[in-house]
């Protein structure tokens, strides 16, 4: 088993989990990291310091699944914290809400994978205007695996791909939950944007 573990650990990779709000991105990230723990991998999980919706440190999904994480203010902090632990100490790095990080998170993910670490990233692929969000498009481009999840459209019940903001606020970064956003399919999103 030890031989297989080290052989696997030398093959770094980048996985991206994306989609609209309420699609289960964080839940899927937590599921993958818990499975990595079951497989006796050493994991380290990071979240942006600005995301304090459910907990200041832990990552918590909408269905209240949770896992401990380290809040960081900048992408370089992820690399520094992993380096402090040591290259051989971490097998899997998880990053939640990647859209809130600076563009340097792409280079961080690439550097970690070059060190043989499996990097699992979750985040919104589009903002409330339906525009690609922050570093997510670049992360998706460099990833070996991209999983796009779809919640249920709250208007028609079909598969949703957009996060429709239901409160008036023009800031791109506005943390919120069901009181502020709802998932919508493209046609229902477009109708809402035309007739707010």
Q: Which residues are catalytic?
A: 97
- Relative to beta strand 162-165, strand 59-60 is unpaired
- List beta partners, residue 184: 162
- In the chain, where does DSSP find H-type helix? 2-9, 25-38, 75-85, 104-114, 136-142, 186-194
Q: Is the distance from CB of 47 to CB of 97 less than 8 angstroms?
A: yes
Residue 114 has which token pair?
């070059």
Per DSSP, the three-state class of 196 is coil
């Amino acid at each position: 088993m030890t031989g297989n573990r080290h052989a696997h650990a030398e093959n770094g990779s980048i996985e991206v989990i994306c989609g609209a709000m309420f699609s289960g991105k964080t839940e899927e990230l937590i599921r993958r990291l818990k499975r990595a723990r079951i497989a006796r991998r050493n994991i380290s999980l990071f979240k942006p310091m600005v995301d304090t919706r459910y907990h200041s440190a832990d990552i918590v999904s909408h269905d209240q699944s949770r896992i401990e994480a380290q809040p960081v203010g900048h992408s370089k902090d992820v690399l520094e914290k992993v380096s402090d632990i040591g290259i051989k100490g971490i097998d899997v790095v998880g990053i939640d809400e990647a859209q809130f990080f600076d563009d340097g998170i792409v280079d961080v993910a690439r550097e970690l994978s070059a060190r043989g670490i499996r990097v699992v990233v979750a985040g919104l692929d589009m903002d409330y205007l339906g525009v690609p969000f922050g570093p997510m498009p670049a992360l998706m481009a460099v990833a070996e695996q991209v999983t796009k999840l779809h919640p249920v459209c709250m208007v028609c019940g079909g598969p949703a791909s957009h996060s429709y903001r239901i409160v008036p606020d023009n800031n791109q970064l506005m943390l919120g939950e069901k009181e502020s956003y709802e998932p919508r399919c493209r046609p229902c999103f477009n109708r809402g944007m035309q007739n707010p």
